[in-house]
Amino acid sequence: MPRPIHATIHTCALRNNLERVRQAAQDAKVWAVVKANAYGHGIERVYASLRAADGFALLDLAEAERLRALGWRGPILLLEGVFEPRDLELCSRLGLWHVVHCDEQIDMLAAHKTQQPHHVWLKLNSGMNRLGFTPQRYRSAWARLNALPQVDEIGHVTHFSDADGPRGIAHQVEAFHAATLDLPGERSLANSAATLRHASAAQVRADWVRAGIALYGSAPDHPEGRTAHWGLQPAMTLATRLIGVQQLAAGDSVGYGSCFVAPAPMAIGVAACGYADGYPRHAETGTPVLVEGVRTRLVGRVSMDMLAVDLEPVRAAGVHAGFGSEVTLWGQAAHGGAILPIDEVAHAAGTIAYELMCALAPRVPVAD
């Protein structure tokens, strides 16, 4: 028998989440963002559920090739554009759209010999200060691109830094509209947070929205927003089983460093999951866990292959917990329908759901 840990990808949840994004986006088209191997879910596993999107967005040419091999003939957008001149040849062959965010990428296009003009998206640095042309240089960059025979259509794109927080997006929307005023081409501004939180603003939805984390069942503005509030469902469950039970006396410690000491006699369960499986080592005592669908907590330090959970709340609920009992690290419990949002686990561990999804280790079996 293999170790009992496994991940499940819920294809129905993916379809639900895409539909929820569509409702918020209203008339805008939807990019399904599948970078980082679909946020750790697997491009091949999510494809059938997300193919109702209008396009896919990602970073890697190899992932774009995988989408084409699956049969996708619609738009694919490279969110960081190309990294060297020969990438443009593959863009031509695969029919990829790509972001242009710097002079060097314009230079590559100017030197590129192609029979098929490229569809590009010019990126504005509207305040994120990662990639893109500043508002002062944006129109001159557009003029350079527009003069190239290697370029066909030019879209306009930016990315919000604070769509999930109190600062909001107004300052970046203003910069975007000033920079792109009267320029032809489609526009894309909204990420998951902007699509859900600012859905009433038509100028934010524009022509395309870019849905990432929301597709996978995480609230983009947790802890203020919750998945249930946004109508999202968890697309990934990480589950395992108890492989041991220990009875502790008051004063007994648990795990490396003895960082948890039992305040009274208690039972703990040892679950087959650790940081080598992708569970965060820095998760502290109190991080939520489900045992047989009953909410309890992590105790002690996470080790490479195991972690310990408090069985007292489970037994207090009248539920038997022992060797072989189901442990849900995040997602949906197999019995009873209880859900542990990945956002809650990430928040307790001082990180974000994106990291937990993408950190799922190759040794964890995944099924849908």
Nearest to 155 by CA among 105, 119, 110: 119
Distance CA 368, CA 366 (A): 7
* Contact call for residues 141 and 102 (beta carbons, < 8 A): no
Which residues are within 8 A (CB) of 258 and not within 5 positions of it... i.e. 6 or more apart? none
Query: Is 138 among the residues known to form the active site?
Result: no
Tally of CB atoms within 10 A around 207: 15
* 366 backbone dihedrals φ, ψ, rounded to 5°: -125, 135
- Which is the catalytic residue, given 216, 256, 275, 279? 256
Question: Could you give the 3-state DSSP secondary structure of residue 38?
Answer: helix
- 216 counts as catalytic: no
Q: Residue 150 contacts by C-beta under 8 Å, 6 or more apart in sequence?
A: 109, 110, 112, 114, 117, 118
Q: How many CA atoms lie within 13 A of 129 on its CB side?
A: 2
Active-site residue among 35, 216, 279, 354?
35
Where in the sequence numbering do the catalytic residues fall?
A: 35, 256
